[in-house]
Amino acid sequence: MKAVIGALAALALGGAAMTASGAAAPDGKQVSGQGCVKPGVETSCLILQDTTSGKLYNLLIKGPKPAVGTGIDFTGVTAGGGNTCMQGLAVQVSKWTPNAGLKCSKGRSGLSVQ
């Protein structure tokens, strides 16, 4: 019984550092990207799929936030551990700017870049 409880505890702790894609989240790694801001599944969550790499990011932004449907460029650092959004790699955004060159529109599968 103790072995089962220990195994479950190890699994729970190890799972906290995983992203939605299943890859380990390297805490504090500098990242940048661009794409259309989309609403997350959870209320108040913002996500973005990078137009170059295709990676999905969970944008953690203090201060003014971009509106859903806005194209942006961003830089920040990865934020390991779990959060309520549970989508994409969590990034603590240090800077974002609108990108008028990205034409974000609503399609059948949500917001996308045209």
Taking the C-alpha atoms of residue 41 and residue 32, their distance in angstroms, rounded to an integer, is 22
Q: Which are the contacts of 78, defined by CB distance < 8 A and separation ≥ 6?
A: 25, 26, 27, 28, 29, 31, 89, 90, 91, 92
Q: Say yes or no to pLDDT of 114 above 70.
A: no
pLDDT tens for 70-85 read 999 999 999 987 788 8
What's residue 62's pLDDT?
Answer: 93
What's residue 66's pLDDT?
Answer: 95
Put residue 35 in one of left, alpha, beta given phi > 0 → left and psi -120 to 50 → alpha. Answer: left
Ordered domains of the chain (ranges, CATH): 2-101 (2.40.50.200)
pLDDT tens for 5-41 read 444 344 343 444 333 333 444 578 999 999 999 999 9
pLDDT band at 101 (very low <50, low <70, confident <90, very high): very high
What's residue 26's pLDDT?
Answer: 54
pLDDT band at 106 (very low <50, low <70, confident <90, very high): low
Q: Which are the contacts of 9, defined by CB distance < 8 A and separation ≥ 6?
A: none
What's residue 56's pLDDT?
Answer: 96
What's residue 83's pLDDT?
Answer: 80
Taking the C-alpha atoms of residue 14 and residue 5, their distance in angstroms, rounded to an integer, is 14
